[in-house]
Chains A and B, each alone.
Chain A
Amino acid sequence: MTGVPTATRPVSLLLRVVPLYPVSARRAGQLVYRNLLVARRSWLVFVSGFAEPFFYLFSIGVGIGALVGDVVTDTGTALTYQEFVAPALLASAAMNGAVYDAVFNLFFKLRYAKLYDAVLATPVSAADAAVGETVWALLRGAVYSTAFLLVMLAMGLVGSWWALLALPAAVLIGFAFAAVGLAASTFLRGWQDFEFVQVAILPLFLFSTTFYPLSTYPRPLQLLVECTPLYHGIELVRGLVTGDVRWALLGSAAYLAVMGLAGLALGARRLQRLLLA
């Protein structure tokens, strides 16, 4: 038997040892596919991810809303408290989901499941893995955000057609935080360090004009809040959902895009070093 494959085998073997072009969509896609297969097995955890932002929406929007009454935003629009809080909860949920997915799952796979040691034995590179994990976190976030937007629509909390752009905006927030979370998770030493992640996330959630307008703060605190990423995410989503669209929103979007790209670059480099060291 004259094996035809013998002619191609050295080539495919060669492909496994020569350096490949740094990131490939197909190779990163394999990791996304792998995560999808795993998610199918733990669907309860996946589904329960929907629940938390809704609980917050009902509790804070309906319960505290009755105590607060109406709110005037920083651009002078009068909103009911529910209309004010809902877009911010969408933005915060995008952040929370992305961070938990990127940090907790990635840390477990990296340190305990040794998933990437196995992955690197295939043509998938560390950079592919970083991109694949980020894309997965974004897909998952997009599903949650769509559901949340539909509930907001059903509750009559959407005030403009611009709200259609709130979905890509939520994905952009997810991108920025997933990428930075991925980079951060390569620095964690153990489970106890997750508390530090929490310490970064919770103040962002609580103080980024989620629950009250920026004008509530004294000026120095306002400047501080304006420097933080979730504030820009909330500005973006709230502007789009309420139809209060301004040029400044482009600046907020750019902030998040730069943060995500920087996080991804650092994360890919760290992953490369951790895995090949």
Chain B
Amino acid sequence: MALPGPAATSFFVQRLTAHRHFWRSSAIGSVLEPVLFLAAMGLTLGGLVDRGPGVPGGVGYLAFLAPGLLVAAAMQTATGESSYPVLGALKWDRLYEAVLATPARPADVLAGHLLYVAFRVTTSAAAFLVVLVLFGAAASPLVVLALPVALLTGLAFAAPVSAMAARLEEDAAFAALQRFLIVPMFLFSGTFFPVTQLPVVLEWTAYATPLWHGVALARDLALGTAEAGSALLHVGYLALWTAAGTWLAARTLQRRLVR
């Protein structure tokens, strides 16, 4: 398989240029929404939780929730940027075909696209991280390492979702993806409560999701309880999803764009 070349950077720059026109509204989605969740659930509901039975381990609910929301938001942003935009660029506005009229090849298109998703996830997560620290939700300075974890989790979703989008002819499957995979992961993969509270089957399903690994690692870092062994396992699992997704997406794009 061909590796991406310098043309990938040109395509990345093209995506950034397009982004200039709607960065305000996309910032609302990727930064303001998690901040609102943090305020409603972390601060106010957190007050009730901390007075009630609370989170195991004596951790305040805000400190428990915040790193989870950071990573969950990265998943949402990455999925959003890899579903409709990829299918749209293939089918509706034919952006990828236009790019292929330049020296860029499908591998460059994919690399440029993933670079752009990485940019979106990193900037949104960085903004949210600042808010998180201002809310007093960070217990350890290692919380800054939650940023690369959010990025890696974002890519672990962006790559397979791009591969899926590159196969589709219609967008109806995105509604199913959102409602039957992304929303359940958001709600059940440890963001809002420990997965050990779930029935055993669901608990093990949660361990299989990339989101749980991202959330668990980011939380360990933010609380200062990270260990090298489990951290390596989380990173490895997320990298596996990223690599497999990228390979699938590259193969699918190559077949669809070069006939």
Contact = CB atoms under 8 A, between A and B. Distances in A.
A36 interface: no
Interface in A209-249: 211-212, 216-217
Interface string B171-189: 0100110011001100110
Nearest to B191: A59
Interface residues of chain A: helix, strand, loop or mixed (majority) = helix
Given A60-B192, A195-B26, A211 B45 contact: yes
A119 to B, nearest CB: 24
A55 B172 contact: no
Interface in B1-58: 22, 25-26, 28-29, 32-33, 36-37, 39-41, 44-45, 47-49, 52-55
Interface residues of A, number: 36
B102 interface: no
Contacts of B193: 59, 63-64, 66-67
B191 to A, nearest CB: 9
Q: Which of A45, A192, A196, A217 has the most CB of B within 10 A?
A: A192
A69 B179 contact: no
Contact of A48 (B37, B176, B188): B176
Given A48-B176, A55-B187, A216-B44, A63 B29 contact: no
Contacts of A60: 187, 192
Contacts of A198: 28-29, 33
A67 B44 contact: no
A64 B26 contact: no
Given A48-B179, A48-B180, A63-B197, A212 B26 contact: no
16 contacts: A42-B172, A48-B180, A55-B187, A63-B193, A63-B197, A64-B193, A68-B53, A195-B26, A198-B28, A198-B33, A199-B32, A202-B33, A202-B36, A203-B36, A206-B39, A212-B48
